[in-house]
Structure 1
Amino acid sequence: MNWIIWLIIACEIGFWVFILLGLVTRYIFKKESLGLFLLAMTPVVDFILLAATSYDLYQGATATTAHALAAIYIGVSIGFGKSMIKWADERFSYYVTKTGPKPVKLYGIDYAKTYFKSWLRHLLSYVIGATIIGIIYVLINDYERTEAMVQILGLWSLVLVIDLVLSITYFIFPRKKESRL
């Protein structure tokens, strides 16, 4: 297996390890500053992945699906990182330490608006990831060496459109509260 794939896996694990360590440090050990520092380390993981991917391509590697996934990972991490940390923070404080309010489950127009905001984050992630792929494409200047990345970008474009359609449907057919019998 390509070492870039292993690095992506390690970075994803590292991302969640920093979040978990940050939350445990913040809520269990009551070290707010250290907890925030650990949470702030998540972008460092992205930088490591970006640097390693760039180095690999600079050394003459043919861009693979793994390289495209690295660009997607970086885009998603930047686009959704803050909201993922907030999501984990809310659940950790409620379910683990019992110190925070219960996370609110949204319905109707509130859910539709929240889902649309999530789609906007997806769009931001896409723009960042597509820009990285575009820069790599321009720098390598060889379609055969970047074909896999361009194909993944096409697939991601389709996923983005499907996500937009889903987002719109929540305004037309709002999510309803489950009825309990």
Structure 2
Amino acid sequence: MNPILVIIIACEIGFWVFVVLGLVARYVLRRRRTGTVLLAMTPVVDLVLLTAVIINLQAGGTASFFHGLAALYLGVSVAYGHKMVRWADGHFAYRFAHGPAPVKRYGPVYTRESWKDAARTGVAVAITAGILWLLIAVVADPRRTGALQGIFPILGIWFVLDLIWAISYTLWPKQHLSATK
């Protein structure tokens, strides 16, 4: 198995381990400060991944699709990480601290959230593109970074699909099932 893929998987697991441990500390053990510290550790996982990719490439490694996937992981983590933690926090608060039930969004509220996600995707694409550019510049050898160039079109397609998603919910807002009967 590709070592960068192994590191990506380990970092994804590490991200969710810090999130779950932070929320368990916060809501189950009632250790709010400990929970906050554990949740604040999630960006460290991103730094570990970025460092591993840079070290691998500077040691003479040839960039593969997995190096590009690592850049994409970092972009998504920065752009969507807070939203994912907030989502998990809401579910934990409901389950373990008698917080309000998570609310399903419909209509204009869902449409606004779709546009916020499109903006988050734009941020993720920009961060990913920046990391790819950084990796290409650091290696400074087109023969070893060719695979990274192939990630740029994927980023464009992803962004366009997210825009289409937001536009579709602007034109045809998501309705509650009981509203369609």
The verdict on a shared fold, with TM-score over 0.5 as the criterion, is: yes
1:118 Cα deviation from its structure 2 partner:
1.0
The alignment status of 1:73 with 2:73, answered yes or no, reads yes
Partners of 1:168 and 1:132 in 2: how far apart?
Answer: 28
The alignment status of 1:167 with 2:166, answered yes or no, reads yes
Task: Give the structure 2 partner of residue 101 of structure 1.
Answer: 100
* Aligned positions of 1:116-127 closer than 5 A: 116-127=115-126
Q: Is the 8 A contact 2:27 2:97 kept in 1?
A: no
Look up the SS of the partner of 1:45 in the other structure. helix
Which stretch of structure 1 is more off in the superposition, 139-148 or 57-66? 139-148
Seq. identity, %: 43
TM-score if structure 1 supplies the norm length?
Answer: 0.95
Look up the SS of the partner of 2:150 in the other structure. helix
Q: What CA RMSD, in Å, does the superposition of the two structures yield over aligned residues?
A: 1.3
Letter in 2 for 1:173: W
Partners of 2:96 and 2:118 in 1: how far apart?
Answer: 31
Which stretch of structure 1 is more off in the superposition, 171-180 or 139-148? 139-148
Q: Is the 8 A contact 1:68 1:153 kept in 2?
A: no
Partners of 1:98 and 1:59 in 2: how far apart?
Answer: 49
Q: Give per-residue Cα distances to partners, 1:67-90, cap 9 Å, x unaligned.
A: 111111111111011111000000
Which stretch of structure 1 is more off in the superposition, 148-157 or 38-47? 148-157
Q: Any gaps of 5 or more consecutive residues in structure 2?
A: none
TM-score if structure 2 supplies the norm length?
Answer: 0.95
Q: Any gaps of 5 or more consecutive residues in structure 1?
A: none
Look up the SS of the partner of 1:102 in the other structure. coil
Partners of 2:133 and 2:153 in 1: how far apart?
Answer: 12
Partners of 2:137 and 2:44 in 1: how far apart?
Answer: 25
